[in-house]
Amino acid sequence: MTQKVLVFGGTQQSGKSTAAKFVVALLMKLAGRLRDFELDDDGNLEVMTGTIDVNGKIVEGKGILDLYRNDYQFVNYALERIWPVCKIYNFAYELKMAACNIFSLNPVNVFGTNEQKDTPTHIKYIDIAHLLTAGRNIEYAKKYNFNVDDPPTDLCISHRDLMQDFGTGICRQIDQDCWVNACWNKIKAEGYEQVIIDDMRFESEVDTCRKNGAYLTLLTRNPFPSEHASEQILKIKRKKFDYVLDNANLTLQQKNDQLITVLQNCGWITTELT
């Protein structure tokens, strides 16, 4: 069986995750495994559900289907209903799991919302400053408003900062392909036919995905410009991507319409949708 892999790349909050949610939900609907769905203003995937009331009658309603859960109950459901249609992977998963285990972090703050990721860890900046580049230390000084030559001793870095500095500043300095290779090894081992990777950020990830025959889509929305190495994908030559989805000024519906075109171009949808 030949695996089909669709990859979304972009900066922070470019719309990669909502793109992945839309594609999975659409494919599930086309496969008859989902009646209907929509994405709300916060990017949550709302699906039509039916519950049984006290009189034994089925009551129609809406519920949020979180495709990024990894608890036992969801995994059992996904193994039967979702992943045979399409499974979402991301390069950062192994990094996040490693960080949770090594630094005893709460997974909620590592895998959660932007607000949760920006909460402080117990790791102090002063203890990692010597591992960082001069430019990264200057970024910290600007972000937290201190003199780079006289850093505070009580400043705890955020979960997001730790992910960037541990994953990029340390692990990728040892092996720049460590996370992308870990992800691709897992994809090949699990063997699902249709797969989405939703967090491509580095040129090495772009090159590895191209080498493995994936279909690469770049999202151009960039609401939080940053000089960090993990946020420079928009500087990569456009010819390395199969499709550039310029969603900087698109509505969610307009973006979803282009995603249907992406699916048609890469052969995941072979008929016209009505």
Same domain, 73 and 115: no
CA distance 259 to 268: 11
Same domain, 114 and 249: no
**Residue 179 domain flag:** no
Same domain, 220 and 170: no
Report yes or no: 48 and 37 within 8 Å, Cβ to Cβ. yes
pLDDT value at residue 227: 84
Lowest mean pLDDT among 3-7, 11-15, 168-172: 168-172
Length of the chain: 274
Alpha helices (H) in 56-117, listed in sequence order:
72-81, 92-103, 107-111, 114-117
**Residue 29 domain flag:** yes
**Residue 271 domain flag:** no
Helix axes 252-265, 16-30, angle to 10 degrees: 60
**Residue 45 bridge partners (DSSP):** 39
Q: Report the chain's mean pLDDT, rounded to a whole number.
A: 91
Percent of the chain's residues with pLDDT above 70: 95
Which phi and psi (to 5°) does residue 14 adopt? -80, -15
pTM of the model: 0.84
CATH classification of the domain holding 30: 3.40.50.300
Question: Last residue of some domain: 130, 148, 174?
Answer: 174
**Residue 49 domain flag:** yes
Percent of the chain's residues with pLDDT above 90: 77
**Residue 273 domain flag:** no
pLDDT value at residue 152: 95
Mean pLDDT, residues 120-124 taken together: 97
SS3 238: helix
Mean pLDDT, residues 175-180 taken together: 91
Alpha helices (H) in 36-191, listed in sequence order:
72-81, 92-103, 107-111, 114-117, 125-128, 134-144, 159-164, 172-174, 178-190
Structure tokens at 235: 């500087």
Same domain, 168 and 197: no
Distances (CA, A) of 77 to 5, 27, 74, 137, 235: 22, 16, 5, 44, 39
Same domain, 111 and 158: yes
pLDDT value at residue 235: 95
Same domain, 10 and 64: yes
Q: Select from 96, 141, 142, 146 the least CA-distant residue to 117.
A: 96
Domain count, the chain: 2
State pLDDT tens for residues 61-118.
Answer: 788 899 998 888 999 999 999 999 999 999 989 999 999 999 999 999 998 888 999 9
Indicate if the pLDDT at residue 193 is higher than 70. yes
Helix or strand holding residue 217 (H, E):
strand 215-219
Same domain, 68 and 196: yes
pLDDT value at residue 56: 57
SS3 60: strand
- 55 — pLDDT class (breaks 50, 70, 90): low
**Residue 139 domain flag:** yes
Same domain, 59 and 116: no
Report yes or no: 118 and 159 within 8 Å, Cβ to Cβ. yes
Indicate if the pLDDT at residue 206 is higher than 70. yes
**Residue 183 domain flag:** no
State pLDDT tens for residues 14-47.
Answer: 999 999 999 999 999 999 998 889 998 888 999 9
Question: Last residue of some domain: 174, 202, 235?
Answer: 174
Q: Which residue has the tokens 């591992």?
A: 131
Report yes or no: 188 and 3 within 8 Å, Cβ to Cβ. yes
> Which range marks the domain in which residue 146 is found?
104-174
pLDDT value at residue 59: 58
**Residue 91 domain flag:** no
CA distance 200 to 160: 16
What is the Cα 215 distance to its own chain's centre? 16
Distances (CA, A) of 269 to 4, 161, 238, 264, 273: 12, 39, 24, 5, 9
Same domain, 80 and 21: yes
Same domain, 80 and 110: no
